[in-house]
Structure 1
């Protein structure tokens, strides 16, 4: 047996073990529970599980899908998550041999786990925990550093990871901003966030188009600073920011200013940077046990959950912006098709975009390189 094949087998076995831990994350993260303590126990009778109860796949099969102690049914999701993780890790090890890609291949396995856990939680709760996505962005950047040092080709280096994370968050938040604006019939937000929120993100969109990503992000953060100094929300009208960006795109397409492509890139990256800073602030402010966590604060309806924005940043950080675009196209197409099927079957039509985005990311991970190369060849690039 060759070394690469042996590593594929090891990766599959390791994936089964990680899948077992993933089930712990899926159950405990939405409930705000510690992921390490107490040790694994039956949610029905609370009996602590022994080593023979925790063997991936085989324990569930040998017990007939029931708890050994109270005979309560064990969800079939547990072996499914374990099997998918094992299969996913083995596939990644086969497509990205550890002897060639090293830490880069391990990074893709981490991404696969983040996508699977986030999707399962989103399906249950319509949320994707910040405890998963924000550290996920940091991990994506860390593996970008490792790819840079190893000189790995085919996976993003640090610069590409940063660019992918910012553009991923920026693209999704721009869709959110304009979708929400349309849903509100171009009216201003009734409950602007203090000190940083969607107003600062919209300002980053406009400023980034003209000043570039970092200066644009600086303008958005400067607005948050003005809110802190004034101790209130200093309103920045969306007619100025979002409407101004639309006008800027028209001007840029006429050859005025930095140019249309640079304007779009700067706008999205600046908004992505402000979004991630805002996400970190909201995560810290609403951490469990704080007054803000317990408060029922009023908010404006949005077109898309902000968890999807941070998940897109995770995908961009691990895969780069080109494969991120592939993931988004696949996600929109899959969401549209399955949405139509759901309507035909008269099932619930509330959108859970996270699983579609995760599906698109897996497709982009496996076939994204070929898709991007084919697209470039079609354009003669």
Structure 2
């Protein structure tokens, strides 16, 4: 067998892995739709089974295939023909794309599980914060255990604990920074943002200090640009409360994806 045959096989396996991870993301996205709807209302995410809000008819398995079912049903309930929000397939497709991007960034490693978990809860928190302006403890607080455990397993497998130590320090630093901002300006920062900051600091700092700096700065840059745009368009005023969680998560995504490269380029310009 020639070298080119091995390269083709490697490329096929890589493509298969990306597609498989993306498919997993579609399934997770379907579950996230349940989480996004029920958690803010204090409802169980396990039971009862999903049902049409119009006619209360239980959604059958054939009508619960991510994205495809919505397309085949033309965005309507099979039983009563009530419209089904396009948000459902968008969340499913978006989660699939995000999972594939995470795999492309992190690669076939143990820590990819940690970042897929972070991506999943990030999508849920983003939409919940937009909907009800809250970051539920039931999602944020378990991440303080789950994420470090997953990253600790990665450190144990790699035999390198430096990234784990950096992640712990990054989580504490970003938590302290947001806590200080909340104390200094209570109207502009909620304690939910502070708690989320610690989780994001862990995930960002694992990648590197550059990822942490870029991710933290990116949140304020994006949030500031958006707020200024709202004020200039007269859709808000200076004291209007705007959820900051989505911008924290967007900044973290930038930091994890490109933070180290951006930080390296910045440092090179300073030399």
TM-score, normalising length: structure 2: 0.88
* 1:149 maps to 2:37: no
* 1:341 maps to 2:226: no
Distance 1:152 1:168, change over 3 A: farther
State whether residues 147 and 157 of structure 1, in contact with CA within 8 Å, keep that contact through their aligned partners in structure 2.
Answer: no
| Residues 138-178 of structure 1: per-residue CA shift (max 9 Å, x gap) | 1221122012112288x973322221221121111110111
Tell me how many residue pairs correspond in the alignment: 255
1: CA distance, partners of 2:132 / 2:197: 19
* 1:357 maps to 2:248: yes
Higher relative contact order (CA 8 A, sep 6+): 1
State whether residues 144 and 156 of structure 1, in contact with CA within 8 Å, keep that contact through their aligned partners in structure 2.
Answer: no
Residue in structure 2 matching 1:168, options 146, 164, 174: 174
Uncovered stretches (5+) of structure 2, i.e. residues with no partner:
1-10
Of stretches 358-367 and 71-80 in structure 1, the one that deviates more from structure 2 is 71-80
Q: How is 1:1-381 mapped onto 2 (pairs within 5 angstroms)?
A: 1-98=11-108, 101=109, 103-151=110-158, 157-180=163-186, 302-320=187-205, 322=209, 323-348=211-236, 349-378=240-269
State whether residues 92 and 109 of structure 1, in contact with CA within 8 Å, keep that contact through their aligned partners in structure 2.
Answer: yes
- SS state of the match for residue 74, structure 2? coil
2: CA distance, partners of 1:152 / 1:31: 43
State whether residues 24 and 35 of structure 1, in contact with CA within 8 Å, keep that contact through their aligned partners in structure 2.
Answer: yes
Q: 4+ runs of 1 displaced by more than 6 Å?
A: none
State whether residues 122 and 249 of structure 2, in contact with CA within 8 Å, keep that contact through their aligned partners in structure 1.
Answer: yes
- 2:8 aligned residue: none
State whether residues 188 and 241 of structure 2, in contact with CA within 8 Å, keep that contact through their aligned partners in structure 1.
Answer: no
State whether residues 145 and 157 of structure 1, in contact with CA within 8 Å, keep that contact through their aligned partners in structure 2.
Answer: no
1: CA distance, partners of 2:128 / 2:135: 6
Coordinate RMSD, CA, aligned: 1.9
- SS state of the match for residue 142, structure 2? helix
| Residues 234-259 of structure 1: per-residue CA shift (max 9 Å, x gap) | xxxxxxxxxxxxxxxxxxxxxxxxxx
Q: Considering only CA atoms, is the larger Rg found in Structure 1 or Structure 2?
A: 1
